Structure 1
Amino acid sequence: MDTVQHDPPRRRVTAQLRALRFDAGTLCLNLVATVGRRPEVPVERMGDPERLEAWCRGVGVTLEDGYDPQDVLRSLHALRAAAHDIASGALDAHRPRQQSVDLVNLLARTEPPDPGMELTADGTWVAKGRRTLSKEALLSLVARDLIDLMTDEARRSRLTACASEVCRMLCLDSGGGRPRKWCSMRRCGNQAKAAGRRLRESAP
């Protein structure tokens, strides 16, 4: 399970910093992004039932009625730590813990609901089949997405980390145009621009 420090942060933890991220490029990295500022003072973004519901809505999944939110959070946090260990290893060349690999393989064994679609009378495509997931099915979806990312050379080659030293969010490059340098231009990109401008203005 991720060990998120609770010591007073060296930087102010703003609402923006605690906001959930859904722009990492794939489901498993959106889960990893529920911890911010990992290299500095990790910030928990999904630590309570309300944030869990918000994350599920953000990634487009619905859990079955009657689930235990604390149990789901514990399981997602454990998978999150394993996913970060594995995905970051592809960037910094560290070998992930065997426990991380074993956990992902174990969770991926559960068969998630089969996807489906149908065309309505008015010509609209809608999802068909079971729309709610058990905890096990949700964990399987994330684990399978991670396995697909790590075993697909083309997708894995697009894996990158935000250039901000205090962010380092893992994300996928779009693969077209200029390489993705920042997790978001509106966030770290703009902050870097502002810092560079201040540095130039203060130079003699």
Structure 2
Amino acid sequence: MDNTPFEFIGGSLCLDFANTVGGARNQANATDQLTSYTDLLHWSREAGLIGDTAFNHLQTKALNDVSRANDVLAEVKTLREAIYRIFSDIARGNTVDDTLLLDLNKAIGQSFHHARIVRTPDGYAWGWKQDMSLDTMEAPIVRSAADLLTAPSTLSRIRECASDHCTWLFLDETKNRSRRWCNMRTCGNASKVHRYRARHTGNAEV
């Protein structure tokens, strides 16, 4: 995307949030895209969780309470890693650690007081109290993770990028469940170039 490090290719809000670590976790190329509370606000606005008015209000509020803003940033990063580890385990066919579920359940308990049922053009849907608290973006992320985790038909479509240099998560929406890369323009093409060079080098040595 132009002028932003954020991409929304996960197919689910919580997966897109987990993907705010670029590159591969625990490798030299890992880059945290949320290095400040302002970064978190930018991501939240691009994800559609807040509008311009809320963005400006929360940015001002954060400047007036830097300590709380930093605490919220630390909290959501802890949530981000729990979400990543839960769905990475599922993508790999591993059993999810109970401590990760405890972390998610804790976040559910803290966040769901923001939940509301709201009217929509088609009837009713989940909504969120717009109380302009600094952690206002956390509740919909938690809700997304809970919904995804409790949808058996969707769990089988969770994938982690096949690149050795990327740990992004996504939902495989292809008919034959064959998607391997988070993004064909980046990781997919890089893999093709790597395989081509490996074959070319091998042929040159023969």
Q: TM-score normalised by the shorter chain: which range applies?
A: 0.7 to 0.9
Gapped regions of structure 1 (runs ≥ 5): 1-15, 120-127
- Check the 8 A contact 1:39/1:167 in 2, yes or no: no
Contact 2:69–2:134 (CA under 8 A) maintained in structure 1: no
Per the alignment, residue 100 of structure 2 pairs with 100
Return the structure number with greater relative CO, CA threshold 8 A, min gap 6.
2
SS at match of 1:164: coil
CA-CA distance at 1:130 after TM superposition: 6.0
Query: 5+ residue gaps in structure 2?
Result: 63-67
**Deviation string, structure 1 residues 148-184 (Cα, Å, up to 9, x no partner):** 1112111111101111011131111114355211000
1:108 is paired with a residue of what secondary structure?
A: helix
Matched, 1:87 2:87: yes
- 1:7: which partner in 2? none
Q: Work out whether residues 76 and 138 of structure 2, in 8 Å CA contact, stay in contact via their aligned partners in 1.
A: yes
* 2:8 paired residue number: 22
Aligned-partner residue type, residue 25 of structure 2: R
- Give the TM-score, by structure 2 length: 0.74
Contact 1:107 1:136 in 2 (8 A): no
CA displacement 1:15-50 (0-9 Å, x = unmatched) = x9x922311111111111111211523321111133
2:17 matches 1:31: yes
What's the counterpart of residue 10 of structure 1? none
User: Percent identity, aligned pairs only?
Assistant: 27
CA deviations 1:49-102 (Å, max 9, x no partner) are 332122112211125632543232111101011111211221334444433212
Q: Corresponding residue for 1:165?
A: 164
CA distance in 1, matches of 2:169, 2:128: 32
Note the aligned Cα RMSD (angstroms). 2.8
Give yes or no for the alignment of 1:48 onto 2:51. no
- Matched ranges for 1:48-197 at <5 A: 48-62=36-50, 65=58, 66-67=61-62, 68-109=68-109, 110-111=112-113, 112-117=115-120, 134-177=133-176, 179-197=178-196
User: Quick one: distance in 2 between partners of 1:133 and 1:157?
Assistant: 36
